[in-house]
Amino acid sequence: MTHPIPPRLAALRQAMAARNVAACLVPTADPHLSEYLPGHWAAREWLSGFTGSAGTLLVTADHAGLWTDSRYFAQGEQQLADSGVTLMKQKVAHAPEHLVWLQQHLHAGDAVAIAGDSLSVASRQQITRLLGEVGATLRTDLDLPAAIWTDRPALPRAPVVEHALTWAHTPRADKLARVRTAMRKLGATHHLVSSLDDVAWLTNLRGSDVECNPVFLAHLLIEAEGRATLFAERGKLGDALVAALATDGIRLADYAAVTDALGELGADDTLLLDPGKVVCAVADAVPATVRRIETANPSTAMKARKSAAELDHIRETMRRDGAALVRAFRRLEERLAAGMAQTELDVDALVREERAAQPNFIGESFATIAGYQANGALPHYRATPEHHSTLARKGLLLVDSGGQYLGGTTDVTRVLALGETSAEQRRDATLVMKGLIALSRARFPKGASGPQLDALARAPLWAVGMDYGHGTGHGVGYFLNVHEGPQGIRPPVSGGALVALEPGMVTSIEPGLYKPGRHGIRHENLVVVVEAEQTEFGDYYAFETLTLCPFDRRALESHLLNPEERAWLDDYHAGVRAALSPLLDGTDLAWLERHCAPL
């Protein structure tokens, strides 16, 4: 069968030549700068064949490169083979990032095209500066992939629904009032919100326009003294919902009308927007006479700090989610013991089936990663009918999965020992566990940020000359995106913002270790920042672990854990047993008690 990618690249190059464009940048982005995209904006995937969630395609007359990070190196090599696209590794010593590579290969007078509906205001400023250093220019008025993408998917049309106050707790009018207070302090008369999770949180609405993320395509324009306008397709909202929004001072307008509304702003208006979350195609509609304040959306920080009521729902959701995983893992063990053939796809189906049986379950929070043995070394691996492994009663199975519930979003990773394991596998799993325990037990002063704590999880691996290439933790939404800012736990980056960890913030703790061709380890719990104590040196915070699911102790070398680490793991399992026992019986309860026994 003919490879589909080379003809697409040829068509793109023809379109570039016709418009005197030397290079075309195709990022992973949509008009809301989402992490996961509706198919309508999956141009990078369509042009390269690479399906990973992160990457940038750069095409010139004689080169096509796909830049992505270490999570996707193996996947990229496989999917880009024979496509005419070269895998370009990001964050690798002596390997240029895509903008540096572009600088090195451009000449004065060259033009670079990137669709303006896929580029943030902040990124345009950076790219324009870098291109200017070599005399090149940036064009955001050309969407060249769209010009050749004849079978481009239509915009999603999934319905928008209310996230009932039973779960949301805070009325949207109160949330908008808080944002308006922040606007007035900044001197803004208007505030544009384009990030989908912020729009969903502020309006207490949910949708399914993006796979696994309960959001919908919309912009929100908030007036400091007046109404708010939600730009969304009218057909997605029922009449009763439109009326309820009107009661709260939110009128509905067509999704595409946001630029018209921005164009009507006057010289006396001041617009607040987040330059990292608004695309230039939308921002360019704002008249030059309008003063702009470019800073983070106030709602992003508000949304990150979960309320006491939300945390109560999250804790109950974690119980239900943990019980589902216990049932799924028990059934998998029994099937293997009975000699039934099982694949990574069966693991995915089992986990999904048990979650779906839980109350208030809506769907998965991301595509399940079930990686057996060497596949576990691919951090974002996904089994498919064409490419998957059959399980055996030996080695390690990594299962990273999550659910969307009306009362919260879950994300949990466990490494299961399916039978005999090697000393190397058990040692590696234990070193990663030591990192998870160290960070879970951390005490830190008010004002501390994730990058300041990241090394705690890596130290046990560093001590033996090993590391992992991804962040240690990400924020998690409340029945929203499984990846949420502004906080995160990752290595410090030069010039990067240090966002303080504050009470109510939910984050993952997920250190890992990956040995290509052999095995992968990742242990992951969700935690929430809580107040710990006040001392003469100030306020101190800690993490409360939220996830409730046993770790497979058969994958560990318990003698490598010190007494404090053993005590933490025993205490964690005692808490899991107490929380989940009332939800289980029979063989499920017996499985739980066996896996929660003290070391």
107: three-class secondary structure by DSSP: coil
CATH number at residue 183: 3.40.350.10
What average pLDDT does the chain have? 96
Percent of the chain with pLDDT over 90: 93
Which is nearest to 258 in space by CA: 160, 189, 192? 192
Rounded mean pLDDT, 351-366: 98
Dihedral, CA of residue 493, residue 497, residue 501 and residue 506, to nearest 10: -80
H helices, E strands: number in the chain: 19, 28
pLDDT attached to residue 434? 98
Q: Do residues 275 and 421 share a domain?
A: no
| Integer Cα distance of 497 and 446 in angstroms | 16
Quote the number of domains for the chain. 3
Q: How confident is the model at residue 74 (pLDDT cuts 50, 70, 90)?
A: confident
Last residue of a domain, one of 97, 118, 148: 148
Residue 318's pLDDT band (cuts 50, 70, 90): very high
Do 94 and 223 belong to one domain? no
In terms of domains, do 438 and 546 share one?
yes
Which tens digits make up the pLDDT trace of 221-236? 999 998 999 999 999 9
| Burial of residue 301, with CB atoms counted within 10 A of its CB: 0-12 exposed, 13-18 middle, 19 or more buried | middle
Bridge partners of residue 120, in order along the sequence: 279
Nearest to 413 by CA among 577, 527, 528, 525: 525
Query: Up-side HSE of residue 570: CA atoms within 13 Å toward CB?
Result: 11
Task: Please identify which residue in the block is written with the tokens 């986990």.
Answer: 351
> What is the enclosing helix (H) or strand (E) of 9?
helix 5-18
Final residue in a domain of this structure, among 148, 181, 204: 148
Give 53 or 348, the one with higher predicted confidence. 348
| DSSP type of residue 213 | B
Give a yes or no: residue 462 inside a domain: yes
pLDDT at 309 over 70: yes
pTM of the complete model: 0.95
Spatial neighbors of 474 by CB under 8 A, at least 6 apart, are 483, 484, 488, 489, 507, 508
pLDDT at site 420: 96
Looking at the predicted structure, is the pLDDT value of residue 336 above 90? yes
> Lowest-confidence range among 372-381, 423-432, 568-577?
372-381
What is the secondary structure of 219-265 as a DSSP string? EEEEETTS-EEEE--GGGS-HHHHHHHHHTTEEEE-GGGHHHHHHT-
Residue 364 shares a structural domain with residue 481: yes
DSSP symbol at 152: P
pLDDT tops 90 at residue 72: no
**Average pLDDT estimate for 341-348:** 98
Are residues 292 and 312 located together in one domain of the fold? no
- Per-residue pLDDT band for 69 (boundaries 50, 70, 90) equals confident
Q: How confident is the model at residue 1 (pLDDT cuts 50, 70, 90)?
A: low
Residue 504, domain member (yes or no): yes
For residue 239, what are the domain limits?
161-298
User: Quick one: pLDDT band at residue 387, thresholds 50, 70, 90?
Assistant: confident
Which among 243, 272, 298 is the end of a domain? Answer: 298
pLDDT band at 143 (very low <50, low <70, confident <90, very high): very high
pLDDT greater at residue 10 or residue 387: 10
Alpha-carbon gap, residue 490 to 473, rounded angstroms: 7
Sequence-distant (6+) residues with CB within 8 A of 383 are: 343, 344, 345, 348, 370, 371, 375, 389
What tokens does 405 get? Answer: 């519930």
Determine the average pLDDT of the residues in 87-113: 91
Q: With cut-offs at 50, 70 and 90, classify the pLDDT of residue 497.
A: confident
